[in-house]
Amino acid sequence: MRVRDENKEKAIREKAIAMIVREGLDGFGVNKLAKAAGVSPATIYIYYKDRDDLILQIGQEIATDLMAHSLANFDPDAHFAEGLKRQWINRAAYFMQHPVEVAFIEQIRYSHYNEKIHALMKERFSEIMGRFVNNAIERKELVQLPFEVFWSVAYAPLYQLIKFHTQGQSYVNKHFEISHEVMMQTLQLVLKALKP
């Protein structure tokens, strides 16, 4: 049995992410990956059972990292405005520091892999965020809404700002960079919309 090489494993992971972001899942294959990573296809099978295992493992690693960043310094017992602000700051930082990984997650989101990756993360994230939302509703800091409505109002504005930032422009401005001020202005409008 061949020994694992951390440098090769890292190269395989990085090239796989880049290829999936650039070419999508349909254009991704183990032989192409091996060539891009400068390893033999057999080397890839030291680290992953098959193509699906590779995609799932990388997706789980990135999703776990994203969740850890989202929950850093987050207190589910915090007041709603404070907690949502922390979530926005954490998510924006992760999205801007890891654009390739975020693009990878976007590719996975519209595939059959998403459900398996999501299932692994759901329990812990749902427990923490559920507690946060329920506390805010009980304290009358948040209007009770169906999950989809809450999520759309609470996070979609942030994600749209990040999208404009990533693209470097908005629909009307040829140049756009997200700033703390713009993010906080948007957050204040979101908080206003979610108050009972």
Q: What is the pLDDT of residues 18-42, one digit of tens each?
A: 999 999 999 899 999 999 999 999 9
Integer CA distances (angstroms), 69 to 86, 97, 113, in order: 10, 11, 22
pTM: 0.88
CB contact set of 55 (below 8 Å; sequence gap of 6+): 16, 20, 25, 28, 108, 113
* Same domain, residue pair 99 and 178: yes
% residues pLDDT > 70 (the chain)? 98
Indicate if the pLDDT at residue 45 is higher than 60: yes
| Euclidean distance between CA atoms 161 and 63, whole angstroms | 21
* Same domain, residue pair 43 and 66: no
Residue 42 sits in a domain whose CATH number is 1.10.10.60
> Can you tell me the mean pLDDT for 150-162?
97
CB contact set of 146 (below 8 Å; sequence gap of 6+): none
Q: What is the DSSP letter of 73?
A: T
Structural domain contains residue 122: yes
Q: Domain range for residue 15?
A: 1-48
* pLDDT tens digits, 169-193: 999 999 999 999 999 999 999 999 9
| Euclidean distance between CA atoms 95 and 194, whole angstroms | 24
Structural domain contains residue 55: no
CB 118 within 8 A of CB 60: no
* Same domain, residue pair 96 and 158: yes
* Same domain, residue pair 71 and 129: yes
Structural domain contains residue 116: yes
Structural domain contains residue 136: yes
pLDDT level of residue 5 (50, 70, 90 thresholds): confident
Structural domain contains residue 56: no
* Same domain, residue pair 29 and 78: no
pLDDT level of residue 1 (50, 70, 90 thresholds): low
* Same domain, residue pair 77 and 30: no
* Same domain, residue pair 108 and 160: yes
User: Number of structural domains, the chain?
Assistant: 2
* Same domain, residue pair 2 and 79: no
Structural domain contains residue 41: yes
Structural domain contains residue 54: no
